[in-house]
Amino acid sequence: MSPVFVPAQLLERLCAEIGTSNVIADDQGLDLISRTCIPYRELPGVGVFPINVEQVQAVVRLAGEFDVPVWPVSTGKNWGYGEKSACYPGGITMVLERMTRIWHVDEELAYAVVEPGVTYKQLNDYLKENHPSLWADVAGTTQYASVIGNALDKGRGLTPYADHFNAMCGMDVVLADGSLLQTGGGPVDGNQCRHVYKWGLGPYLDGVFAQSNLGIVVKSGVWLMPAPESFDWAVFEYTGAVGQFPQLIDDLRRLVFAGAVRARPHIANDFAMMCIVSQYPYAALDGKRCLSDEAMASWRKKHGVARWTFGCGLYGTAAEVRFQRRYLRRVLGRYGRVQFLGVAAEDTLLGRLARKVAPFINRMMGKSDAFMEALVPGINLFKGIPTDHFARQVYFKSHQEKPRQNIDPARDQCGFLWIGPVVPFTSGHVMAALKLAKEIFDRHEFDMFVELIVEGPRSMIMLLGVFYERNDPDDAARARGWYEETRFSFIAKGYPPYRTTTMSMPGSSDINPVSRDFLAAIKRAVDTQNLIAPGRYGTPGRGGRAAE
């Protein structure tokens, strides 16, 4: 575990430039920062934790001088996608979690300017304290994830501002030669518009830094949502016949187009809900590696979980929210049960009362008590309030109990893996994709986890996942087999994933050779030594296992 790819002299220079406390080179430290949930992992030669832009620039310049690659991550909480591991062994891993400045919040124009170490929790706390009229959309993952990191990976939240990359506007980017690029057009200093107008003057550049290795984003504008006058929250449980589900998909698309659904719900299947409200029922496996339909049905029944469930925030004036409520009740009511429970998260007398009464109703409805625990955090996600409640679910199979705090599934070696093919938002496409997914889950004997994420009115991201034994090589191989078959089969059907894991970087752009070559030419031009994250998203590597 020695830092094989990092010369001793570079280590010294790094310590001199950014301070010994911001450099990690001991075995234990390197082990910790390279732990993953996915069945793939590489050890870096050294880990650096720069605290400001100048330090990022200093590291990049040193990397160039010693010709050693730099793998930047924000906080590396992209659990199930690759965490902090590079796609090659050795080199410098740069963790930006100590760059935690909130530079500016503009209340009138509703945006913040933040560094990559700013987490959902930090931003939310800051807003609640100083600008309570503004909400920041958050991902359903841990509250300690990076706002910028998630956005650059095209992560998603749940409010009308769910498209995190779309909410970025005006970035500061350290390039491979150490220079600082400020996007958003106009003069570098004094430009009043870089964080309020997206497209700038000339080509729009922010886009090329998403899922990219063309530079290191060290600061960005992030659009915030003015708190609506009124808010409510619906929970929908599907009780219709199986054959009705396609119709629900088409109706839901129309609701999104019409603006009756402004939130971006995740429609969870039964298994995805079970992860939240239960522990894995190993006893029901009956010698198999995944639950039979019967075992699944009885487990579902025990906890009162529907086949499909989703929550949905309602936003607007009181009149608009009333209208949305009516509209949702009318349309969704055809397919199942819709309840409006926004009040339960309110800090009012009515809210406290609702929280008192809810557990009894919940039990009467035959539901597991864990539903109640999820209620307030679930509602809050739609108000931009982050939580670790749902990140805990990933412990449900690998650990006997979900931890109450200090969640870190990479550290704790929970094995899981995500893939999210993009699927056009029509019943035809969604049903075809669900069928394909089910076949592949069955073939690899994994329980089917799926969330249909409403990306917008035109597409869904079909989030699929498996849980496996992180430290059992056979099970890891099985998970990888499932992943690769899912990936290639969905691509072959025309549904490429919205994101790729670190283990699948090599060749991930081969599905579009002209685009791959176009990007490779750009990379060579702006990073002549191929210093920053070589190989990321299928760009050329530098040698080593994952290269070329």
Per CB under 8 A, contacts with a copy of itself among 126-165 are 154, 165
Closer of 345 and 453 to a copy of itself (Cβ): 453
> Number of residues in contact with a copy of itself, rule: CB under 8 A?
91
Residue 229 is a binding residue for a copy of itself (CB under 8 A):
yes
Residue 323 is a binding residue for a copy of itself (CB under 8 A):
yes
Beta bridge partners of 222: 112, 168
**Among positions 411, 496, 529, 547, the unique one binding a copy of itself when judged by CB under 8 A:** 496
CA 496 vs CA 414, 492, 510: distances in Å: 26, 8, 12
Helices 370-381, 270-277: axis angle to 10 degrees equals 110
Coil, helix or strand for 58? Answer: helix
From 17-25, 253-261, 355-363, 408-416, give the range in contact with a copy of itself by CB under 8 A.
253-261
Residue 188 is a binding residue for a copy of itself (CB under 8 A):
yes
Residue 498 is a binding residue for a copy of itself (CB under 8 A):
yes
Per CB under 8 A, contacts with a copy of itself among 106-125 are 108-111
Query: Closest separation between CB of residue 130 and a copy of itself, Å?
Result: 19
Query: Closest separation between CB of residue 142 and a copy of itself, Å?
Result: 23
Beta bridge partners of 509: none
Per CB under 8 A, contacts with a copy of itself among 397-426 are 422-426
From 37-45, 55-63, 104-112, 346-354, give the range in contact with a copy of itself by CB under 8 A.
104-112
CA 365 vs CA 111, 333, 359: distances in Å: 42, 17, 10
Structure tokens belonging to residue 365: 């409805």
Separation of alpha carbons 429 and 460, rounded Å: 10
Q: Give the per-residue SS3 of 340-405.
A: ECHHHHCCCHHHHHHHHHHHHHHHHCCCCCHHHHHHHHHHHHCCCCCCCCCHHHHHCCCCCCCCCC
Euclidean distance between the first and the last CA atom of the chain, given in angstroms as a whole number: 24
User: Are 264 and 158 in contact, with CB atoms under 8 Å apart?
Assistant: yes
CA 120 vs CA 46, 128, 388, 542: distances in Å: 27, 12, 11, 34
**Among positions 1, 201, 353, 365, the unique one binding a copy of itself when judged by CB under 8 A:** 201
Query: Closest separation between CB of residue 252 and a copy of itself, Å?
Result: 12
Closer of 116 and 160 to a copy of itself (Cβ): 160
Separation of alpha carbons 485 and 470, rounded Å: 19
User: Are 44 and 34 in contact, with CB atoms under 8 Å apart?
Assistant: yes
Closer of 104 and 289 to a copy of itself (Cβ): 104
Query: Closest separation between CB of residue 366 and a copy of itself, Å?
Result: 36
Residue 250 is a binding residue for a copy of itself (CB under 8 A):
yes
User: Are 157 and 137 in contact, with CB atoms under 8 Å apart?
Assistant: yes
**Among positions 28, 129, 187, 349, the unique one binding a copy of itself when judged by CB under 8 A:** 187
Query: Closest separation between CB of residue 326 and a copy of itself, Å?
Result: 9
Closer of 259 and 304 to a copy of itself (Cβ): 259
**Among positions 361, 512, 543, 548, the unique one binding a copy of itself when judged by CB under 8 A:** 512
Per CB under 8 A, contacts with a copy of itself among 209-228 are 209-212, 214, 223, 226, 228
Query: Closest separation between CB of residue 370 and a copy of itself, Å?
Result: 34
Structure tokens belonging to residue 367: 């539901």
Closer of 278 and 500 to a copy of itself (Cβ): 500
Residue 507 is a binding residue for a copy of itself (CB under 8 A):
no
Distance of CA 425 to the CA centre of its chain: 20
Residue 204 is a binding residue for a copy of itself (CB under 8 A):
yes
Residue 499 is a binding residue for a copy of itself (CB under 8 A):
yes
Residue 321 is a binding residue for a copy of itself (CB under 8 A):
no
**Among positions 4, 350, 365, 521, the unique one binding a copy of itself when judged by CB under 8 A:** 521
From 60-68, 184-192, 282-290, 442-450, give the range in contact with a copy of itself by CB under 8 A.
184-192
Closer of 29 and 226 to a copy of itself (Cβ): 226
Separation of alpha carbons 416 and 429, rounded Å: 26
Residue type, 511: I
**Among positions 288, 289, 330, 524, the unique one binding a copy of itself when judged by CB under 8 A:** 524
**Among positions 125, 251, 320, 373, the unique one binding a copy of itself when judged by CB under 8 A:** 320
Per CB under 8 A, contacts with a copy of itself among 42-101 are none
- Give buried/exposed letters for 212-250 (b at 16+ CB in 10 A, else e): bbbbbbbbbbbbbbebbebbbbbbbbbeeeeeebeebbe
Separation of alpha carbons 341 and 388, rounded Å: 21
Helices 473-492, 427-443: axis angle to 10 degrees equals 150
Per CB under 8 A, contacts with a copy of itself among 434-493 are 455-459, 491-493
Query: Closest separation between CB of residue 478 and a copy of itself, Å?
Result: 25
Helices 245-258, 427-443: axis angle to 10 degrees equals 130
Separation of alpha carbons 470 and 397, rounded Å: 11
Question: Which run of H or of E encompasses 49?
Answer: none
Closer of 211 and 244 to a copy of itself (Cβ): 211
For strand 92-95 and strand 70-73, is the pairing parallel, antiparallel, or unpaired?
Answer: parallel
